[in-house]
Structure 1
Amino acid sequence: MAVPPKFAGQKLQFAKAQSPATTGVAASVHTLELYLDYVCPFSAKQFNTLYHTVVPLVRESNEWSQGLEIVFRQQVQPWHPSSTLTHEAAVAVLKLAPEKYWEFSDALFKQQKDFFDVNVVNETRNNTYKRLAKIAASVGVDEAKVYDLLVISDKPAEDGSLNSGNKVTNDFKVLVKMARLVGVHVSPTAIFDGVVANDVSSSWGKQEWADWLTKNVV
């Protein structure tokens, strides 16, 4: 599935794909999409390996860097109530500083336990947003602007609505719809070139990923 330009920060491209000038065939690369939830421990494990091990491996290989792009798809899991709030914060970062999206995601995953059920159950929604905005600030995104996009008013909207959401709600809805269209239900889920890759595991380390890249990115 395509990545809309406004969500371009979710995609890592390593090198421009090469296409024979005489064929007229568009240059294309393999696409690895990872559906991850910020409050899922297995997603955190997979992201950590991906971001700190796999991405450097790809950058070091001319073949892999020219033949692969990686997309972080946000997978909201409503049985974790704070999942929605954490993913909304990521949407705010995408809007304000898309180049910080992966760095913010790394910081958020490292602090994900702070947003588990026990740690948010007695906290107001806006206070959770304040903590998320501070994480964004830790990677160089304007804290006040992030919070402004997330905060929920305690006053009715101009049209009288009591359920009007915040300034990222419309974009957030698009991301949820995109995941539903491909039938992804749980995180982490890997999709390679449009097909679910059940062999990709969150337990993989450097060698397993290197073997997989060698086999699939040619």
Structure 2
Amino acid sequence: MAVPPKFAGHRLDFAPPPSATASVPHATHTLELYADYCCPFSARMFHTLTTAVFPLVRANPAWAPELSVVFRQHVQPWHPSSTLMHEAALAVLRLAPHRFWAFSGVLFDEQTAFFDVSVVDETRNQTYARLAKLAAKAGVDGEQVYRLLEVADKPAQDGSLNVGNGVTNDLKLVTKMNRLVGVHVSPTVVFDGVVQDTSSGWTADRWKEWLTKNVV
């Protein structure tokens, strides 16, 4: 599935692709990671990939120009904070797309602070405020993030009470895109358009074995 230009920060490339011939354009393999910031299993896979697997890809001249990774933000509504966390990531994506992956790492590191018990006594805007403060850890202005997240306490000019915030339409779009492919479980890995039998428990060695078989 394509990555809209406004969501280009979701895509991670490891090296420039080799030059294509006139008759056969070069195309990379694409690994799509469907992950929820409020999911412990997503956090485990993200951590393994970013700290152990991606460095292996970058260091391998046979893999680096042949693989692209796409982060697919996958909201799971049974985790109510999931929506708010993904909205914060979309705000960072809007303001500083080059910091999206770093901020995703911060969200996964801090995810327990947004689990059910951790937010039950907060208002929505209070949770947004805490999420916005985390943006500083990824080098993004938290005040700008909060301005995109804050929900007004009065109706819109047309009288609507479902006023949303500055990234509501972006959240709608990523949700629609995910529904088109029917992904349910997080994390889910899709490789070249096909769902893979991967696991959040995979070690770097297991991923290395998988990459050896698939990135050719």
Alignment TM class, shorter chain as reference: over 0.9
The residue number in structure 1 matching 2:122 is: 123
Structure 1 runs (4+) greater than 4 angstroms displaced: none
Q: C-alpha separation between the residues in 2 aligned to 1:111 and 1:93? A: 16
The answer to whether the 8 A contact 1:137-1:143 is kept is yes
User: Among 201, 204, 210, which residue is 1:203 paired with?
Assistant: 201
Asked whether 1:33 is paired with 2:32, we answer: yes
CA deviation string 1:105-159 (max 9, x = no partner): 1011001000000001110000000000011112110111000000000011111
Q: C-alpha separation between the residues in 1 aligned to 2:86 and 2:21? A: 41
The residue number in structure 2 matching 1:57 is: 56
- The 5 Å alignment of 1:84-163 reads 84-163=83-162
Tell me by how many angstroms 1:48 deviates.
0.2
Q: C-alpha separation between the residues in 1 aligned to 2:115 and 2:31? A: 28
Say what the alpha-carbon RMSD is for the aligned residues.
0.8
Identity of aligned residues (%): 63
The residue number in structure 2 matching 1:21 is: 21
Equivalent pairs, count: 216
Q: C-alpha separation between the residues in 2 aligned to 1:79 and 1:146? A: 25
**TM-score, normalised by the number of residues in structure 2:** 0.98
Residue segments in structure 2 that go unaligned for 5+ positions in a row: none
The residue number in structure 2 matching 1:47 is: 46
SS class of match (1:190): strand
SS class of match (2:151): coil
The answer to whether the 8 A contact 1:75-1:186 is kept is no
CA deviation string 1:132-189 (max 9, x = no partner): 0011112110111000000000011111110010000001100000100000012000
CA deviation string 1:68-106 (max 9, x = no partner): 001110110000000000000000000000010010010
Q: C-alpha separation between the residues in 1 aligned to 2:185 and 2:140? A: 29
The residue number in structure 2 matching 1:7 is: 7
The residue number in structure 1 matching 2:166 is: 167
Tell me by how many angstroms 1:14 deviates.
1.3
Tell me by how many angstroms 1:19 deviates.
4.4
The amino acid across from 1:91 in the alignment is L
Residue segments in structure 1 that go unaligned for 5+ positions in a row: none
